[in-house]
Structure 1
Amino acid sequence: MLTTGTIASAVTAFIVTVSLVEAVILWRRRRGTDNPYSWKEVWLSLADLAGRKLSVLLPLSLATPVFHLAWEHRLFTVTLNSALMVLLLFIGQEFCYYWYHRASHRIRFFWATHAVHHSPNQMSLASAYRLGWTGKITGSAVFFAPLVLLGVRPEVVLATLSANLLYQFWLHNDWMPKLGWLEYVFNTPSAHRVHHASNVDYLDANYGGVLIIFDRLFGTYVEERADEPVRYGLVHPTTTANPIVNQFEHWISLFRDMANSRKPWHALGYLTMPPGWAPDGQGTTTEALRLAQQQQRRTAQAAESAGAAPEGTLQQA
């Protein structure tokens, strides 16, 4: 008889096996090139996966009491007895996932965990299961509590979330091309490559899980461009091969900034504002990086125009 644990173990074995097959193929294809395949990235992802499996043994989850409270005070009791109800659950879960994912990029407290997923400097299937060890502690699953409050059983909500994450496994590759009309509706490898990019033009985009429609609706969709090749990893790249450092370096920097704050509201700002925020306004948030890039482009265009002016004047004469 199949149990939830048996199914989960089989799925884990499947995704690890497929990712290792891809790793071997990419390693052989890229030998002797300027972009050789990095086995270090696979090692960090496997260490992350092992650590999360062990963390299940720890009874630490901020979401559990929230889910319990939401279920006790639920507005309805939802029964998934029709295709329409399943569809509504899927859409509702996608909506919640979009805002969870967006918050994970825009609130540094959640980013300290989510940054681990973005730390690979190469995109591969192994990147998909590097998710960070501290997700349970931060309570990020509370973003899905509205579904429980509406009457969906907590275990159903979590199972739907697991299915969402399983779908995203195949999105983590850099070799699959764009998929035509599917790009307008679904999250695809092309859309997800943009999401994992550190290019300023691509930052904080494409938060969807299975669908991309909420990104289009809320203005966070960015298309992958041929003239802007993706640079994977963080704005300040992680180079460590130590899984402990990989997991906790962003928490350490967050606590350091908070401890060095001169005012309590500055410490709160470091915790709740976007990554790169600074109380003096001189930080490296996405907005600040884009403003600096725009200024650099204007300066370059002005210099180019000034350099072309004498030649243009001569031709007119």
Structure 2
Amino acid sequence: MEFTNPLVYGVPVFIAFILFELTYSISHGDDHIYNWKDLAASGFMGVGSAILGALFKVVFAIVFFEFVYELCNPLVDGVRRNFLGYESFSYAWYVWLLCQLADDFTYYWFHRANHEIRILWAAHIVHHSSDNFNLGTAVRNGWFTILYKPFFYMWLPVIGFPPEMVLVCLGIEALWQFQLHSVYVPKLGFLEKIFNTHTMHQVHHAQNIEYLDKNHGGFLNIFDKLFGTWKELDDSINVKYGVIHSPNSFNPMVILTHEFKDIWSDVRKAKKLSHKFMYVFGPPGWSPDGSTLTVKQQQQLFRKQKQLQPSVLFERPN
């Protein structure tokens, strides 16, 4: 059975909604929502990502998923049986729901790994590098994540989900992720208890210390809540979007490669092999001497300072 990837129809919708939000922001005096040079950079990277993604999907993802599916789910007397002993999954409606749930679980860990492993962060930082949060930022995707993303999802065809079903679920996930990038959608009441919403994704794109590495979920927030990475938007906090170590450039090539250059610089100056390893595969911000801090270290320091603040504020002068 063949299915069309939803993203085929998503691209013109993306463009239409970006133009709509851009027009709306200008007409309502929200000039800070969009920056023309920033939008151009995001658009360039979005187009490049779409082209490379399409080519790579045909050459690698589809072929790769088909290969592992055929290997782990061989035909036996006209019926596909998984190597674990059960019949491979059908196209029943509940199987689609299970596949979408499994996709969301995988997306959570794929996304979280992109934030917690520096070499993956170097590819993913592209998406966070804008100081603006809008639908244009949604298409600001790195070009290198497509090289390793299929490896996170390969377990789905391995256990018996048809490859085309997996690809459709990936497309649905991407569509949901796109529309999350808007400041114009308020909190959504009871839906906030289950779904990853626009305000939650604003938290994810913020560089405020308390918001760093939060809300990695796809269309659900249950995995963030289960694994301790969920954070609700606090109206008392002035959100600042982007990354702490910004590329400070609208040049797409700089945006795409600046963190890789920083990794190479750190690896070259490191004297120990273990330090070289950590600069590549450790968390972003890791350093052997504490000259730079990881997100967890920054947040620990932030909490300590916050706890000390009352005593500092009310301390009697000498």
Q: If the TM-score is normalised by the length of the shorter chain, which range does it land in?
A: 0.7 to 0.9
Percent identity of paired positions between Structure 1 and Structure 2: 32
Distance 1:190 1:238, change over 3 A: same
Long gaps (5+) in structure 1? 311-317
The match for 2:77 is: none
Measure the CA separation in 1 of the matches of 2:205 and 2:87: 38
Letter in 1 for 2:273: P
Q: Distance in 2 between matches of 1:113 and 1:60?
A: 21
Taking the aligned partners of 2:302 and 2:159, their CA distance within structure 1 comes to 44
Q: Which residue of 2 aligns with 1:256?
A: 265
* Corresponding residue number in structure 2 for 1:30: 29
Distance, in Å, in 2 between the alignment partners of 1:272 and 1:290 is 20
Alpha-carbon distance in 2 for matches of 1:129, 1:36? 15
Give the drift of 1:142.
1.1
Please, which of 146, 151, 167 is the counterpart of residue 142 of structure 1? 151
Summarize the Cα distance change of 1:3–1:291 in structure 2 as closer, same or farther, 3 Å threshold.
closer
Q: Is the Cα–Cα contact under 8 Å of residues 99 and 165 in structure 2 kept in the other structure?
A: no
Equivalences for residues 197-276 of structure 1 within 5 A: 197-276=206-285
| Residues 197-251 of structure 1: CA deviation (Å, up to 9, x unaligned) | 1111111111110111111111111010111122111122343111111111111
Q: Structure 1 residues 264 and 61 mapped into 2: Cα distance closer, same or farther (>3 Å)?
A: farther
* Pair 1:12–1:77, CA change in 2 (3 A): farther
Residues 97 and 57 of structure 1, relative CA distance in 2, 3 Å threshold: closer
What aligned pairs does 1:89-128 form with structure 2 within 5 A after superposition?
Answer: 89-128=99-138
CA shift for structure 1 position 134: 0.9
- Equivalent in the alignment of 1:13: 12
- Aligned match of 2:97: 87
Mark the CA change 1:58 to 1:150 in structure 2 (over 3 Å): closer, same or farther.
closer
The 2-side partners of 1:77 and 1:231 are apart by 50
2:44 corresponds to 1:47: yes
CA offsets per residue over residues 81-129 of structure 1, 9 Å max, x none?
3222112111111111111111111111111111111111111011111
Q: Give 1:78's aligned residue.
A: 88
Q: What is the alpha-carbon distance in structure 2 between the residues aligned to residue 77 and residue 11 of structure 1? A: 33
Amino acid at match of 1:70: V
Contact kept? 1:116, 1:130, Cα under 8 Å? yes
Q: TM-score, normalised on structure 2?
A: 0.87
Q: Is the 8 A contact 2:3 2:164 kept in 1?
A: no
Q: Judging changes above 3 Å, is the alpha-carbon distance between structure 1 residues 135 and 61 closer, same or farther for their aligned structure 2 residues?
A: farther
Question: What is the root-mean-square deviation of aligned Cα atoms in Å?
Answer: 2.5
* Consecutive unaligned residues in structure 2, runs of 5 or more: 74-81
Q: Do the aligned partners of 2:43 and 2:140 also contact (CA within 8 Å) in 1?
A: yes
Letter in structure 2 aligned against 1:100: F
Taking a change above 3 Å as real, the CA distance of residues 105 and 63 of structure 1, as seen in their structure-2 partners, is farther
The alignment's TM-score, normalised by the length of structure 1, stands at 0.87
Question: Would you say how many aligned residue pairs link Structure 1 and Structure 2?
Answer: 304
